[in-house]
Amino acid sequence: MSTARSAAAHPFVAHLRQVAALEHDRRTAAEEACTKAQQVLDEARLRIADAEQELAQAEQRRLIAAERSSAAAAMIASAEDFLNEPAATAADAEDTQPADPPPGSRPPASDSRTLKELVLAVFTGPEMLSPAEVAPLVRVHRSKTTNKAVRSTLTVLRREGALVLVERGYYRLPKQEERL
């Protein structure tokens, strides 16, 4: 009987082996498809990383170009303003400028005012101001004025008697009786 069972089992085992071989082939095909898909994905990630790097470089170049463009536009505007101002000779300038400005007249334009004049203009009454409070007010008229320049000017004005050092780091205009 053992021969009958083995003969009957043999076609079934052969069929199972065929099924196993088919499944093995399907598994191999699926692994190859996964490997191929992973390679495509890795390549896409590399292209994305390269594209992001190119984008960052392009944005940096755009920022630099915008800064240069605005600087060039500012230079052009400055040059146009300079060229549009009427040119005056030294003789013309002497004829048109009075020797002393009349009392009570407006001070000269802030561009032509000295740093001393600008610092003194900040003090309008009896208030006490520190160099840190004076500097931003001076920068309204002269944007490149440094804190050190303001402190030095305050010291010079104090020595000249135009300002009084009230306490460390605070200045004010002298009172009317102090000026006389």
| pLDDT tens column, 7-21 | 556 898 889 999 999
φ/ψ of residue 161, rounded to 5: 90, 5
Report the pLDDT value the prediction gives residue 94, as an integer from 0 to 100: 47
Q: Model-level pTM greater than 0.95?
A: no
Q: What is the pLDDT of residues 76-109, one digit of tens each?
A: 877 777 788 665 444 444 444 444 444 444 444 5
Residue with more model confidence, 178 or 67: 67
Q: Which percentage of the chain shows pLDDT scores above 70? A: 77
Task: Tell me the Ramachandran region of residue 127: left when phi exceeds 0, alpha when psi lies from -120 to 50, beta otherwise.
Answer: beta
- Residue length of the chain: 180
With both helix axes pointing from N to C terminus, report the angle between 115-122 and 131-139 in degrees, rounded to the nearest 10. Answer: 120
**Res. 61 pLDDT band, cuts 50 70 90:** confident
Report the pLDDT value the prediction gives residue 101, as an integer from 0 to 100: 46
User: What's the whole-number mean pLDDT along residues 16-28?
Assistant: 94
Residue with more model confidence, 86 or 115: 115
Reported as type and span, the H/E element at residue 167 is strand 164-167
User: What's the whole-number mean pLDDT along residues 146-174?
Assistant: 91
Report the pLDDT value the prediction gives residue 58, as an integer from 0 to 100: 82
**Res. 69 pLDDT band, cuts 50 70 90:** confident
